[in-house]
Amino acid sequence: GWGEAKEEVGSASNCSALTSLINQRIGPSLVGEDPRDINRLAETIYNGSRAHYALREGHVFPILGRRGITVAGMSGIDIALWDILGKSLSAPVWRLLGGRRSDRMPAYASGGWAGVDLIGDQLLGYVQRGGFSAVKMRVGIIDGSPSHSALRVHAAREALGPTIGLACDAHGTFTVSEAKQFCRLAEDANLLWFEEPVSADDKRGLAEVRRSTSIPIATGESEFNRFDYRELAELGAADIFQPDLAICGGVTEAMRIGAIASAWNLRLAPHLWTGALAFAAGMHVAAASPAGWILRLPRALTGSSRVRSLGSIENPSGYGARTAIPIDIITRLSR
């Protein structure tokens, strides 16, 4: 089976520590187990030396260090286990998760770093080249002030017109007061969502931002499992959950996160700033989850036969956790 894990969001940095963790600690604990017992193996990894208690008692007994690199390693193994199960049954993973809700999933382009004079043309280029009906741009510290971020957003909206969806991402670089100021200034831009307004460490601050605006708030790429998302839901801190399958625990945990989103009437839009394997796994989860909504489409897939001019992508049809992406695209995305 094939899986993908990573040390940090948006980075392909030195993965020697992650590799050592998988090869020396997590992997040996699974030797001799049935790879089809995915829930059992997920509990074994998460609970470590206390796994026998968790399996017997029906609730978690997690080890220390149950976030960060441990859950990242768990993610890669979990994706690989679902890949094994799907291939062994000659079925795509979304079918094993209960089936897909539709044949296609809406997709958006992500980028938008250009200045106020060029941002409109840059985003329109994404729409024209990829047939997208939604795009995402960057705001925050790169602009120097909330007011300048809002100027760029309004320039983008003017260029895109009223029918193209527009989202923005601050990468957690605003303070709470700055994020609230930006929301006031950008309120009339009809944003699809405002992503990571403040640091992921400030969930209460995020909830304060959400209460201050009608702009939907998206977050989650830095969260590690369903317990982190439960807290986001309880605090009323987000409208859209964005788990990264290479760090959140893989397919198993992402489906649990999707269940929380569904129970709170929130949306799920997996964070797919990853290689080909985690991207494909995220497609399966989004296709099967009742809260699944929209996907970021990698540039390598724009123009693919899998993408229609209406800005949607065909849900996976191949066996296992992978898709029928051409091997040259897999190679490029995995570098």
Catalytic residue IDs? 171, 271
Specify the residue for token string 């260090």: 65
| Phi, psi for residue 310 in degrees, rounded to 5 | -80, 5
Give the bridge partners for 92, in sequence order.
320
Amino acid sitting at position 239: D
The Cα 261–Cα 238 span in angstroms is 10
The Cα 308–Cα 316 span in angstroms is 15
Sort residue 286 into left (φ over 0), alpha (ψ -120 to 50) or beta.
Answer: alpha
> Which of 203, 211, 177, 189 is closest to 137 using CA atoms?
189
Give the bridge partners for 295, in sequence order.
107
> Which of 74, 84, 112 is closest to 247 using CA atoms?
74
Q: What is the DSSP letter of 92?
A: B
> Which of 209, 76, 69 is closest to 219 using CA atoms?
209
The Cα 44–Cα 61 span in angstroms is 10
CB neighbour burial string for 89-107, b if at least 16 within 10 angstroms, e if fewer = eeebbbbbbeebeeebbbb
